[in-house]
Amino acid sequence: MSKFFVMMGHTYKNRVKSKSFLITTLITIALIFTLSNFQSIIDAFTGEDDGKTVAVLTDQEQWFSALKQNLATEDELSLQMFSGGLEEAKKEVKKGDFHSVVQLEEGEDGLPEGTYYAEQIASTEESRPIQQALQQVKAVTVTERSNIDASVIQQISSPVSFQLVALEENAKTAEELDQTRGLVYIMLFLMYFSVMMYGNMISTEVATEKSSRVMEILISSVSPVSQMFAKIIGIALLGLTQFSIFLIAGYFGIQQSRDSSDGSLLESFGLLDIQGSTVVYAVVFFLLGYLLYATLAATLGSLVSRLEDAQQIVAPMMMMVVAAFLIAMFGLNSPDAKFITISSYFPFFTPLIMFLRVGMLDVPLWEIVLSLFLLTASVIGLGLLGARIYRGGVLMYGKSSSLKDMKTALQLSKKEG
């Protein structure tokens, strides 16, 4: 048992001290702080006094007044009547005195038409509000000419009241679903990239040791099964270390965002009011999903002796992760679809899809227990099978990247046993 912990500690320490771990961790921490304080960063670069003045050219003062009134809520835009000509206004824009110019003219039908001039028109942040405000001016003009009450037009154009009410007693409300959807979306991404990264790390670790002939020395002192689970648990501890750092960084990032802004971005992702049960399910499904894929990755990695072959042999496993992720992305909008329910019981899809259902729906407890039972049984079964394949696979050398080599590895494990 002492040799098991030595190998587990060796795997953990080597990965923690690696440059890739440090660089990935630092970049992710910077990304977490950037995203959690995204609104504050935008406000800092934008500045409170960085308003944009738009010159308006028109002979119809009532249009200018109506346009200015419709844009009263746009704090960053201010309209100014320009008395000169269009060419003179363009020169003022180039000098920086105005951000842009809007020319209002009367069309053939007697309704206002606008032309927007700016140095660059790629961004529509300024032009779109002006276009929408001018649309309202046009509607008012048509209403007045047709002798239609303005309140009637306002009622027609106002959005209809449409509420979503769930009949099930414990079903989530529309507001809760909107918040949960953002949280589940983030969790799915974390689980997806973690399985991809750490699973690939295990397979390459085994293949690297075989290619350097270190495996021949290891198997003479430590059983292959101990090696396999030492690597799985060692890299699992690595993942827990990295995620603990990310959680701490995320916590401080969220607290800083709360203090410096209104937290609207975090609130839209449901990160200001996280339910404890959702976090617990995320941890449980993540750990079981990691053990399932990590065991499979170690098993597949033992079949090859070259690093380039390791990438090829784990490709089917990666495709399963991608498939589960794509199904889960679709399930964000239709979590109660029948094929989402069925696929959530497939062990290799369960960590992502059942977690999606638990987060978005009121799933009966027996369904959750059944999925966890199937997932746990799959982890144990794959662990027992993987241990046998690993025992024979570490003795296989040469070019080998076919899943058919599992049979050979099983035969070798029987001779070894």
Confidence band for 173, pLDDT divided at 50, 70 and 90: low
Domain-located, residue 67: yes
C-alpha pair distances (Å), 95 with each of 87, 119, 203: 13, 11, 61
Same-domain check for residues 150 and 210: no
11 domain-assigned: no
Domain edge (last residue) among 132, 157, 182: 157
| pLDDT at residue 369, as a whole number | 92
Q: How far apart are CA 209 and CA 395, in angstroms?
A: 12
Both 97 and 189 in one domain: the answer is no
Residue 134 burial (C-beta neighbours within 10 Å; 0-12, 13-18, 19+):
buried
What's residue 251's pLDDT?
72
pLDDT at 373: 94
Q: What is the mean pLDDT of the chain?
A: 77
Q: Report pLDDT for 49.
A: 47
Q: What is the spatial distance between Cα 74 and Cα 68, in angstroms, rounded to a whole number?
A: 10
Q: Are 300 and 152 within one domain? A: no
In a domain, 294, yes or no: yes
Per residue in 199-244, pLDDT (tens digit) is: 778 777 776 666 655 555 555 566 666 777 787 888 888 888 888 8
Q: What is the pLDDT of residue 346?
A: 93
Q: Is residue 245 part of a domain?
A: yes
- Which tokens in the block code for residue 411? 């035969």
Supply 261's token pair.
Answer: 């802004």
Q: What is the mean pLDDT of residues 340-357?
A: 90
Q: How confident is residue 191, by pLDDT bands cut at 50, 70 and 90?
A: confident
Single residue among 122, 157, 192 that ends a domain in this structure: 157
Residues 150 and 217 in one domain: no
State whether 79 and 224 are in the same domain: no
Which residue from 75, 52, 76, 79 is spatially nearest to 134, judged by alpha carbons?
A: 79
Residue 387 included in any domain: yes
Residue-wise pLDDT for 360-376, tens only, equals 888 888 999 999 999 99
State the first-to-last Cα distance of the chain, in angstroms, to the nearest integer.
19
Let me know whether 318 and 265 are in one domain: yes
8 within a domain of the structure (yes/no): no
Q: Are strands 112-118 and 100-106 parallel, antiparallel or unpaired?
A: antiparallel
- Quote the pLDDT of residue 172: 66
pLDDT score, position 150: 67
pLDDT band at 345 (very low <50, low <70, confident <90, very high): very high
Q: Are residues 153 and 191 in the same domain?
A: no
> pLDDT-based confidence at 411, cuts 50/70/90?
low
User: Over 60: is that where the pLDDT of 264 sits?
Assistant: no
- Asked if 180 and 280 sit in the same domain, the reply is yes
CA nearest neighbour of 302 among 238, 231, 375, 236:
231
Tell me, yes or no, whether 243 and 100 share the same domain: no
What does the pLDDT read at residue 377?
93
| Residue 195, pLDDT score | 76
Same-domain check for residues 87 and 142: yes
For the stretch 92-137, pLDDT in tens is: 888 888 888 888 888 888 888 889 998 888 777 778 888 888 888 8
Domain count, the chain: 2
Q: Is residue 167 part of a domain?
A: no
166 assigned to some structural domain: no
Single residue among 123, 157, 191 that ends a domain in this structure: 157
143 with 178, same domain: the answer is: no
Cβ neighbours, 10 Å, residue 361:
20
Q: Are residues 269 and 315 in the same domain?
A: yes
Q: What is the pLDDT of residues 32-71, one digit of tens each?
A: 777 777 666 666 665 444 568 888 888 888 888 888 888 8
Q: Select, from the ranges 190-194, 318-322, 403-407, 412-416, the one with the highest average predicted confidence (pLDDT).
A: 318-322
**Full domain range(s) for residue 286:** 174-416
pLDDT of residue 371: 92
